[in-house]
Structure 1
């Protein structure tokens, strides 16, 4: 073992209580770092999963059209919007084939959607209808998971609505209700399912029909209004959207574009976590630096004797830097292990329904990062004490 390592280790073990307190202080800061990192990353994962599990990762819509401009005797006349055909995807079967051949796409659901009114007696409530294939009712949003009454079966031609909307109109399973679409078509439909997802915009204003029942209501005998896609990795939605848009010439919208508020919220949480992590590392630097600086003044005589025997200033500086590295490494590994155990225990605490009390991700604690940062921070913290120790005059130190 190099002599500098041996001297550093003897200095550390000479006052074991002080060293223990230092290591525990460093470990506590590391635990805070790990906990905050695991909590923020876990919250980001939870929010992303909750959001992406209920919406399409990529939505393909007909491209936006602008009224064409006609030239008449050198005059520009805008074509009336009323002459434009209704936007729809007519070649949707071919689009599905393209999407199926795109790597990363796992589920494809054709959708016929439109606005309508539910009428019961004198009560009228607006509703956004989504017509889907009966075997893909759970393709985009797992409606079956949230059914509280009835079922998610659409083959019978019934209507599935949210619990809040059902309460507003006093609708129960089997109750017939008049659905009047934006195209003026009407149909009397039974309520076959009631769901509660926990999102107001879905529970109050969304209903599901079979695509076969929705087509005549919205005057779409052949085309569809959109295609909803689920991906193996939702984070790849922007890249896959560009690929599909170029391949199909349709408007491809990734879920991140529709949920920018979620991205802003997770970014804000990340910045808050960075501040807390920075303070934890600062506490490590201050505690190690102050303790080693105190050790420098306490060991002035010993340092003077070493210098008088020919030990160089560089050697003295290395001894104190190694002390900081030893303390930082011991505290980092101890704190990382304790932080992981703490996160595991907190993640195991569940509510009566089985969900976790804290959306914490024990595997996302940034353990390697905090260990490296702690050791580097400890080494930097030891620079000032090392400089002070190496500057000790051997004559003055021995005379004192």
Structure 2
């Protein structure tokens, strides 16, 4: 294509200016890639910190609402009372587990019996949240076993796992006995099998684990479970999964986002901030290319006038300047994507004393395709104004200058 040859020749005729243009585009794209990868990495880190030790979707029995009764046999309207003593439970939980195991989005499942209780040691009394779990799946939702600092995770028939802060408050250690009294008024002497420290205060200070079979008589639930906790391979699918499970099981399904509304709002605000920075990067690229091509068109007025005098159509001149913008944008974008990826990889490799990356950056999520397409398109758009101006040059006026 002859227009492409002319465009390339124009660019190579002033290599320093072309190099500066390409470098400016590359720097803008590098910033675009870095910001995109950094925001994605921050979102991943915050999500993992919140969901790494909790469920992505929680299944619970549907909320029971008191019904208004009316009929010919009732002189006045009456309200059907809901029992407050009988615990709500999921009775068909084995069927729900089968449904979850067949879903490829699910990575872990934990049927549980949860409730409130008090631990009594001499005169010390502490209120705790009891979680009855399958001993084989104690680490399904929260990694408890690797966090044990005293004793072991073998719950057995009368075992109890407690957090380090709770153990310190009560002066307990592995092997000691303690009285547990549940909200149902049932008491039982249990043995501290292990003490864990997860670093999450809500777990280390207020939660105790025992086996599912031990929890049943303590909370008077011989058959069902109170909730089913679900981990997903992709936490971002929690809302869709919750809707699916609610429709399929008629249970109340709560995604982790609804339990962490403030975090979700922060992630949205963070994403908007990144988008604004990306937009400003693209605007700076467009302004730089447009100003350089306008100057180039002005300097080459005489050359353009001579070509027009020889019968070269204005559409050809238009294509020459558009192709210049295309080449500058494409080469700069490719160079910027490569530089941005290298920068992200280098920053990811900088670690602290604990071996964690100093910056929570995700090089694989740098938005390279978007950067390439948007930058190239922006460069072409930036060249439209100087291209139109050059294509409308009057041959006589241009030659006389």
Deviation at 1:57, TM superposition (A): 2.6
Deviation at 1:379, TM superposition (A): 0.6
Aligned-partner Cα distance in 2 for 1:91–1:98? 11
Residue equivalent to 2:81: 80
Residue equivalent to 1:112: 113
Residue equivalent to 1:44: 43
Aligned-partner Cα distance in 2 for 1:271–1:134? 44
Residue equivalent to 1:25: 24
Q: Which moved more, 1:107-116 or 1:128-137?
A: 107-116
Contact 2:304 2:395 in 1 (8 A): yes
Corresponding position: 1:209 with 2:190: no
- Aligned-residue RMSD, C-alpha: 2.2
Residue equivalent to 2:59: 60
Aligned-partner Cα distance in 1 for 2:152–2:357? 27
Task: Tell me the SS of whatever aligns to 1:160.
Answer: strand
TM-score with structure 1 length normalisation? Answer: 0.92
Listed as ranges, the matches of 1:296-311 within 5 Å are 296-311=297-312
Deviation at 1:266, TM superposition (A): 1.7
Deviation at 1:103, TM superposition (A): 4.7
Aligned-partner Cα distance in 2 for 1:243–1:345? 41
Specify every segment of 5 or more residues in structure 1 that has no aligned partner in the other structure, as ranges.
none
Task: Tell me the SS of whatever aligns to 2:77.
Answer: strand
Task: Tell me the SS of whatever aligns to 2:178.
Answer: strand
Task: Tell me the SS of whatever aligns to 1:359.
Answer: coil
Task: Tell me the SS of whatever aligns to 2:172.
Answer: coil
Residue equivalent to 1:219: 220
Residue equivalent to 2:280: 279
Q: Which moved more, 1:282-291 or 1:231-240?
A: 231-240
Aligned-partner Cα distance in 2 for 1:117–1:31? 57
Residue equivalent to 1:195: 196
Contact 1:118 1:180 in 2 (8 A): yes
TM-score with structure 2 length normalisation? Answer: 0.92
Residue equivalent to 1:229: 230
1:197-244 Cα distance to aligned partner (Å, 9 max, x none):
233222222111111222222222332211222334433333333343
Specify every segment of 5 or more residues in structure 2 that has no aligned partner in the other structure, as ranges.
none
* Count of residue pairs brought into register by the alignment: 399
Aligned-partner Cα distance in 2 for 1:55–1:155? 24
Residue equivalent to 2:34: 35
Aligned-partner Cα distance in 2 for 1:243–1:368? 32
Task: Tell me the SS of whatever aligns to 1:75.
Answer: coil
Contact 1:67 1:84 in 2 (8 A): no
Deviation at 1:151, TM superposition (A): 2.6
Residue equivalent to 1:127: 128
Deviation at 1:112, TM superposition (A): 0.9
